[in-house]
Amino acid sequence: MLSRVADSIYWMSRYIERAENIARIIDVNLHFILDNKIVSNEQWEPLVRITADWEYFYKKYEEPTRENIIEFLTFDTEYPNSIISCLSAARENARSIREIITSEMWMQINRFYLMLNDRNFKKLLINSPHEFYNEIKLNSHLFFGITDNTMSHNECWHFYKLGQLIERADKTSRIIDVKYFHILPNIKDIGTAYDDIQWGSLLKSASGFEMYRKIYHGMTPEKIIEFLILNTDFPRSITYCLNCANTSLHAISGSSTESYNNKSEQQLGLLRSELAYADVSEIIALGLHEYTDLFQKKLNLLSDSIFLDFFAINNSMEYCLEEMSE
């Protein structure tokens, strides 16, 4: 398949996954602040830090108020990682490969984009912000469900899954890092009901609260970290995402999952090995921030390798061939 097609599918998936993650994080924060009657801006700044774009935010906005953060993360068209920018980029990628994706996929992503740009829908954010962000989450889930059920599970589909899983692993690690740092300083609250609410908020930010409660009893940092990083069954745990990404990566190259044929497979294999033999006590001893920060750097290197192995070189060759044919 053409690498520019693979590139578009990969990034279409990443952008929709990113939009869904941002909507969920904002919605969880709105619920947390409402339930605990918090009026301080301290609960809003971490949302920008999860995206790692706080420097960009402070160039445009003076304070991390609720209004500024929501505008920045939802409707700021100049910010490339806002929900509206992500959907715009996803739609553009989908438009460029309409002959590859199914008509149902295109209709859903187009409907999703138009809904977010509709004035009446924007008013919903003022009157019912939870319903507003819930609609974004549901439309993202609908797109992924339509894709899984209407698109052949071939090479194109594996590039779509690869983009979704790499993005999901990255956001889960960032949620853990920022949320844990925000919870940790409140020593006086350890073991209290408020402490449980904080940890519950962390799990909800990764859509893991209900599944966690079905496996564990009580909120402890060790169990929550183990669940979100090392659990092999939860779809948003880092280990689960990388295991599934490994399956898709090898399906694309046709190589055995026990070996590697390119840099991407090698780096992903090393990351998976580190997680397979990791212990939660060792992660905490190292420092959760240090651990997640190192993981994010390695994941960024993996993303760069995927670009070089599958998109960059072949894109240049395809361009040259198209030029020659003309």
In which residue are the tokens 């079905």 written?
214
pLDDT-based confidence at residue 41 (cuts at 50, 70, 90): low
pLDDT at site 18: 97
Do 28 and 160 fall within a single domain? no
The C-alpha atoms of residue 222 and residue 311 are separated, in whole angstroms, by 39
- Indicate the burial class of 45 (C-beta count within 10 angstroms; 0-12, 13-18, 19 or more): middle
- Range of weakest confidence among 3-7, 89-93, 228-232: 3-7
Which of 91, 125, 150 is at the close of a domain? 150
Which of 95, 123, 150 is at the close of a domain? 150
The number of angstroms, rounded, from the C-alpha of 147 to the middle of its chain's C-alpha atoms is 17
Do 286 and 305 fall within a single domain? yes
In the chain, % of residues over pLDDT 90? 69
Give the residue numbers spanning the domain of 62.
Answer: 1-150
Do 168 and 305 fall within a single domain? yes
Do 137 and 269 fall within a single domain? no
Do 127 and 179 fall within a single domain? no
Task: Tell me the whole-structure pTM to 2 decimals.
Answer: 0.90
Tokens linked to 40: 């301080």
pLDDT at site 296: 95
User: What total number of domains does the chain contain?
Assistant: 2
pLDDT at site 193: 55
Residue 23: pLDDT over 90: yes
Do 138 and 174 fall within a single domain? no
* Max avg pLDDT among 50-59, 103-112, 315-324: 103-112
Among candidate residues 71, 67, 86, 73, the one with its CA nearest the CA of residue 47: 73
Mean pLDDT (the chain) is: 89
pLDDT at site 326: 46
pLDDT-based confidence at residue 197 (cuts at 50, 70, 90): confident
Which of 119, 150, 181 is at the close of a domain? 150
Do 97 and 175 fall within a single domain? no
pLDDT-based confidence at residue 35 (cuts at 50, 70, 90): low
The H-assigned helical ranges of the chain are: 3-36, 45-50, 54-60, 66-74, 83-96, 103-117, 119-127, 129-150, 155-183, 193-205, 209-215, 221-225, 238-253, 263-276, 280-286, 288-306, 313-325
Do 274 and 307 fall within a single domain? yes
Do 136 and 160 fall within a single domain? no
Residue 284: pLDDT over 70: yes
Do 173 and 316 fall within a single domain? yes
Residues 6+ apart with CB under 8 A from 320: none
- Indicate the burial class of 319 (C-beta count within 10 angstroms; 0-12, 13-18, 19 or more): exposed
Do 158 and 181 fall within a single domain? yes
Length of the chain: 326
Residue 46: pLDDT over 90: no
Rounded to an integer, the average pLDDT of 276-295 is 92
Rounded to an integer, the average pLDDT of 87-115 is 97
Do 138 and 200 fall within a single domain? no
pLDDT tens profile 141-153: 999 999 999 999 9
